[in-house]
Structure 1
Amino acid sequence: MFRIGSIFIPVTDLEKASKWYEKMLGVKKIDSWEEGVGFYFPSGSTQLALIQVDIPQSSEFIVKNEEKNSYFNFIVDHIEEVYEYLNKNGVKTTEIKDFGGMKYFDFFDLDGNPFSVVDEPINSPFHSANIQKLQNTIF
């Protein structure tokens, strides 16, 4: 059935952005083409592609009262370590917040694209172990 193949991110400087994403997110280059470059994560099957654009593009949407939401998030196991790493490397972040046991924060790439980082507690229905149980359920 369906699964997420790649996530596409608009960037204005493909070369600088590629180096930034490799360093900050630990992605590895698969291949490049005239207007883009594709990466894989050391774990998981979703790929990430950077696409060259002339002007910054929005990678978020408005929910209500001007509150913004990114289109996807990154799941991590040790959110404090990721937060510290990004901050030590000069990446703009928001503070870590708690939402019903889930911890999260946002960070921004060189073009100001926002991304959420999430650390789901094991008792959350959204934790990867609980999703895997749902995926393995036979109807």
Structure 2
Amino acid sequence: MALIDRIDTVFVPAIDTSTAAAWYGRMFGMTPIFESAGYIGLRLPGGEAALTLYPARSIDRDGHYRFNFYSSDPEGLRQAIVTEGLEATPIKDAGPIRYFDFRDISGNWINICAPGRG
């Protein structure tokens, strides 16, 4: 018997959680599920795990990416990120998956994975 049921939330730092929450809502359709003391929880439509933005004084711009999203249209998503004026790496092909990284509005690295072409 498992002692846990799911991953409930992923915590992501943001200098301005309200601005970051609005950006995640606009870019990815995430909706707020709670707000308390500067923490803002968001969820994708139909999603189970939440993303919780928490207040931070700084962002580790050299750190590992915070989490990844799965996308069936990485080219379209990458173009939308670049159109926002945000940093994105080229899409790389690793056999069964394709992926790229981008910086969110707060400067965190986020990874995108997608099905491979072969």
2:16 counterpart residue number: 13
Counterpart CA distance in 1 for 2:62 and 2:46 is 23
Percent identity over the alignment? Answer: 29
- Closer, same or farther: CA 59–31 of 1 in aligned 2, 3 Å: farther
SS, match of residue 72 in structure 2: coil
2:46 counterpart residue number: 43
Counterpart CA distance in 2 for 1:56 and 1:87 is 20
* 1:9–1:59 CA contact under 8 A, matched in 2: no
Unpaired segments of 5 or more residues in structure 1? 61-68, 124-139
Counterpart CA distance in 2 for 1:70 and 1:7 is 12
Superposed CA deviations along residues 76-132 of structure 1, whole A, max 9, x for unmatched, are 111111112222222221111111241111010122100110002498xxxxxxxxx
Counterpart CA distance in 2 for 1:75 and 1:90 is 21
1:132 counterpart residue number: none
* 2:89–2:102 CA contact under 8 A, matched in 1: yes
More contact order relative to length (CA 8 Å, sep ≥ 6): 2
- Closer, same or farther: CA 4–58 of 1 in aligned 2, 3 Å: farther
- Alignment match of 1:55 (pick from 58, 69, 74): 58
* 1:26–1:41 CA contact under 8 A, matched in 2: yes
- Closer, same or farther: CA 82–57 of 1 in aligned 2, 3 Å: same
- Alignment match of 2:86 (pick from 80, 91, 96): 91
Residue 57 of structure 1, CA deviation:
4.2
SS, match of residue 70 in structure 1: coil
Count of residues in Structure 1 that have an aligned counterpart in Structure 2? 115
* Correspondence 1:76 to 2:97: no
* 1:93–1:108 CA contact under 8 A, matched in 2: yes
* 2:29–2:44 CA contact under 8 A, matched in 1: yes
Unpaired segments of 5 or more residues in structure 2? none
Counterpart CA distance in 2 for 1:30 and 1:59 is 30
Residue 19 of structure 1, CA deviation:
1.3
Residue 39 of structure 1, CA deviation:
0.6
If the length of structure 2 is used for normalisation, what is the TM-score?
0.84
